[in-house]
Amino acid sequence: MMRRLTMWTAAVACVSASGLAGGVPAVAQANSAPLVVRTDKGLVRGIENGGVREFLGIPYAAPPVGALRWRPPRPAARWSGIRDASQPGSNCAQTGNITTGVVATSTAEDCLYLNVYAPPRFSFGPRPVMMWIHGGGFTGGAGSIYDGAPLAVTGNAVVVTINYRLGPFGFLALPSLDAESHDGSSGDYGLMDQQAALRWVQRNALAFGGDPRNVTIFGESAGGASVCDNMASPTAAGLFERAIAESGCFLLSQNQQQAEQHGASFAAQLGCTDPATAAACLRGKPADALLTAAGGVLGGWGPVIGGRTLPLQPATAFQTGRYAHVPLLQGTNHDEGRFFVGFEFDAIGHPMTAAQYPVVLAAQFGAADAAKVEARYPLSAYPSPDLAYASVFTDASFSCPALTADTFAARTGVYAYEFSDPSPPNDFGITFSFPLGAAHSTELQYVFGKIPFLDTTPPFTPAQAALSVQMMKYWTRFAATGNPNGGGGPFWPAFTTTRQQVQELIPAGIAPTTSFGADHQCAFWAQIEG
């Protein structure tokens, strides 16, 4: 501990001296927090916003443009003078879609930026660091739509949000790209970006009041999948001490063969049909053409299994013990599937019909298993076909895979949760034909205390506001210590294989339950998936 505090004192002295060298006023008192900070690439000037220091749009890697398109991230260039850090960097190239939180299309490839939110004053010793990995199906989203300030203040933590390459820019696999790589694989550029951001945190956390030896990665949906992918990634070893995965631990990965078939089809749409030269051909295409060919949200893009970055399916890595043995806080929402059903059907004006229900099941599970699923989830048991299929989607794609992840990781410490507010604020701006419930992503406004993208305070009831504060405290205490408990909140027991306790996060009713697996029919899904 003494060595860490010595490092901390040295970092504060360096930052203070950098203020004098840069021609700005010296720090007046030892405990005041500067708005000019020296990073490893140069000085940045942040802003104070509502009592929080914000440093926005800091490059953590070189722009992956031109010849660097579809290559591992390279170091950012140094700069002279003081770089303005009052505005976030460009969103990574993506087709705008309300479901990702980024409604405007971006063609920017110069997008590898991060944002730092730090409490205004130094504490006695460095604070825990929490690096947020956004969701969006690996095709959309941005770090800047999440305001880390409330979480930083509530939990006395340094919060970092990042961009990473998306869609074909982040996850294209091709034989010609394999040939360029050191390990004969391609497709995990987005994960490499996340790890480059973590290495930036290791080098620079102290300058912002954070502890590089106490870093937590956390994320939701594709970001939650990224958390577990990084836990299973040998190249992320030692870059973080704890992990929080919301709604997606074993989600959206593909093997190398599947990825290269998808990549070849993508390249062919752009006239790049020769496997030997497809990469060079595609590097000559503009970003907007790539986006057009890529398709929309959930267009088949995601991390690729088999290379050095991600050698094993995360579920296999967890099951066999070949993952980062760090404490994990992991969970899902009670009604995850209502988000997907609502946007697939209601949002286009056509709620699912009874006739569509068996057709959709057959397309997802195959005829034989679809019949079993329909028998287990009959339309007669639900108010509408939408809600029947939403339950299927929730249990098969989120709840039961989360329980599997909890079970595999229990040996190294797991705290499991289910967000179960039956009436959270509808932050989508769309009215559905059924109650939204605790749908996919509805917990985000509780974790951040703000509605993502809108950057507004949610219209919480007093009980919901209390739940939000408690969740922020759980998340930040876990980041600080590996245990969410402390401070007088409802006790959260650890998940074990013999006592599978899941903390139900409900307004005015937080308590553990042991019925999660039965509630979501996980024994049935083990037979279907097995």
| Identity at 205, one-letter amino acid code | A
Residue in 144, 185, 186, 221 annotated catalytic: 221
For residue 288, give both structure tokens.
Answer: 């907007």
Is residue 336 annotated as a catalytic residue, yes or no?
Answer: yes
Cα torsion for 465, 467, 473, 475, to the nearest 10°? -120
For residue 6, give both structure tokens.
Answer: 């010595």
Nearest to 413 by CA among 324, 325, 335: 325
Q: What is the helix, strand, coil percentage profile of the chain, to 5?
A: 40, 15, 45
For residue 443, give both structure tokens.
Answer: 């917990």
Q: How far apart are CA 312 and CA 318, in angstroms?
A: 9
Q: How far apart are CA 185 and CA 178, in angstroms?
A: 4
Instruction: List, in order, residues 6 or more apart from 492 with CB less than 8 Å away.
Output: 415, 417, 474, 484, 485, 503, 512
| Interstrand relation of 158-162 and 127-133 (parallel, antiparallel or unpaired) | parallel
Rg (the chain; Cα; Å): 23
φ, ψ at 116 (rounded to 5°): -120, 130
Which helix or strand (DSSP H or E) is residue 132 part of?
strand 127-133
Residue in 134, 262, 334, 440 annotated catalytic: 440
The CB-side HSE value for 316 (13 A sphere, CA atoms) comes to 9
Is residue 440 annotated as a catalytic residue, yes or no?
Answer: yes
Residue with tokens 């992840």: 405
Is residue 520 annotated as a catalytic residue, yes or no?
Answer: no
DSSP assignment of 281-304: HHHTS-HHHHHHHH-STTSS---E
Q: How far apart are CA 488 and CA 23, in angstroms?
A: 46
How many CB atoms lie under 10 A from the CB of residue 389? 26
For residue 216, give both structure tokens.
Answer: 């937590």
Residue in 54, 336, 418, 504 annotated catalytic: 336
φ, ψ at 128 (rounded to 5°): -65, 150
Catalytic amino acids? Answer: 221, 336, 440
